[in-house]
Structure 1
């Protein structure tokens, strides 16, 4: 996972601020295409549960999967914010 340390830090900071924070699963092995599809769908369900989405994007970087998750959040009227300017 790209920016894993930054994601963990944001998760910790939100949690100690008293917020419920969800983050993508950290998988430390190769996954099949079926597993990847399942994990992507699971992450969208996490967005469904969210009051807002915080995109951890050091240096303004946003990958393809994150772009689709941002589009999903917008489509479901879930507010999106970013750690770094785009």
Structure 2
């Protein structure tokens, strides 16, 4: 299959590292270009060490630029969890007319 591929940015808490990897693989095998997080600060325990407040601001901004590049976002909301950064990304995506998909049913 060769052609125009949909681009999806993954959003969600980085504590769900295994779910990000699984969804990235599944979407890629469906012929979707996947943009994901650059690192898993929560899962890898990097907050407060490598990830300072200043870097967190930068990473949040970078992720919004990734949303700009995508046709839609896909939210990793395992067990219904959506944190404040992800809520901000969902709001941003809505404001920019992006389609939003969820790992689990969402009742926002």
TM-score, normalised with respect to structure 1:
0.92
CA-atom RMSD in angstroms: 1.1
Following superposition, the deviation at residue 18 of structure 1 comes to: 1.2
Deviations 1:20-79 (A, max 9, x none): 001112144331111111111000000001111000111211111100000000000011
Counterpart mapping for 1:7-18 below 5 A: 7-18=20-31
Distance 2:80 2:24 in 1: 18
Counterpart selection for 1:32 from 44, 52, 56: 52
1:63 paired to 2:87 = no
Say which one has the larger Rg: 2
**Greater relative contact order (Cα 8 A, min sep 6): structure 1 or 2?**
2
Which aligned segments of 4 or more residues in structure 1 are displaced greater than 4 angstroms? none
Partner in structure 2 of residue 82 of structure 1: 102
Q: Which runs of 5+ in 2 are unaligned?
A: 1-13
SS in 1 for 2:74: strand
Partner in structure 2 of residue 22 of structure 1: 35
Q: Which runs of 5+ in 1 are unaligned?
A: none
Q: Where is the helix percentage greater, Structure 1 or Structure 2?
A: 1
Q: Where is the strand percentage greater, Structure 1 or Structure 2?
A: 2
